[in-house]
Structure 1
């Protein structure tokens, strides 16, 4: 991936492990699907990883998490983040990963995007989902970061994330050719 080497890239992601809705039932995931994709991107590109974590953890119970996520979305809440990228100004390309929650990004990802100045940076979203693809998340990113360049996102159904490496490689090759 020669062009990625010319960019200073960050892979920032929000992921949920534990109880998740997978193929019509609740299953325990030791590693969240979005983290699986973030790790694949890191393995291929060698870029820095940053986990978007909140101060207040989400409930372990899936249904309770959905209820919290609905309240956050309906209230346009910005959950406080537990850690911050120390040198965000040094990155010019950010891979941004998240699960599709209620048709968009989880609200902590909104917090992350509002916390930094993305002017002049390139944002490359990737998303795991239960059938809704990217939802309206790319539109939301464009609204939150109007001075950033937004490249086409990659989405994969959560249950397929662990087997998506070839698709991730193809997507990264396509992104690389745009740089």
Structure 2
């Protein structure tokens, strides 16, 4: 559902949506993620994409996010191959430390 009205996410330093990373479909972020990004006010927020994939890696997700979030800081994202997700904890933890989301 798309809305002309943006919802403000507040002054939180970080927030997450969903319980798992969204998969990349045909090198693009899912339409539900695109609709979410267009429906909330993330101005001035720092965004770090995290996706799963089968073939395309990060695909065009960064470009799509950049277009939807022109007033946000977009950090390099992390793409985890779906078949390797069960062993990706060390890579995920390293990425989270690099982006200062965990210590």
Q: Where on the TM-score scale, by shorter chain, does this alignment land: which range?
A: 0.7 to 0.9
- Aligned partner of residue 127 in structure 1, secondary structure: strand
Given that residues 92 and 120 in structure 1 are in contact (C-alpha distance below 8 angstroms), is that contact kept between their aligned partners in structure 2? no
Deviations 1:114-146 (A, max 9, x none): 111111001110010012111001110011010
Match for residue 146 of structure 1?
Answer: 70
- Aligned partner of residue 97 in structure 2, secondary structure: helix
Given that residues 95 and 124 in structure 1 are in contact (C-alpha distance below 8 angstroms), is that contact kept between their aligned partners in structure 2? no
Q: CA deviation at 1:176?
A: 1.2
Instruction: Identify the structure with the greater helix proportion.
Output: 1
Uncovered stretches (5+) of structure 2, i.e. residues with no partner? none
CA 1:134 to 1:101, structure 2 compared with 1: closer, same or farther past 3 Å? same
Uncovered stretches (5+) of structure 1, i.e. residues with no partner? 1-79
Match for residue 12 of structure 2?
Answer: 91
Q: Please tell me whether Structure 1 or Structure 2 has the larger radius of gyration of its CA atoms.
A: 1
1:155 aligns with 2:45: no
- Aligned partner of residue 50 in structure 2, secondary structure: strand
Alignment of 1:1-179 (within 5 A): 80=1, 88-95=9-16, 97-176=21-100
Instruction: Identify the structure with the greater strand proportion.
Output: 1
- The aligned length equals 94
Given that residues 95 and 126 in structure 1 are in contact (C-alpha distance below 8 angstroms), is that contact kept between their aligned partners in structure 2? no
Q: CA deviation at 1:91?
A: 2.5
Deviations 1:66-121 (A, max 9, x none): xxxxxxxxxxxxxx28xxxx872232334563211011111000110011111100
Given that residues 8 and 41 in structure 2 are in contact (C-alpha distance below 8 angstroms), is that contact kept between their aligned partners in structure 1? no
CA distance in structure 2 between the partners assigned to 1:122 and 1:159 by the alignment: 28
CA distance in structure 1 between the partners assigned to 2:45 and 2:14 by the alignment: 6
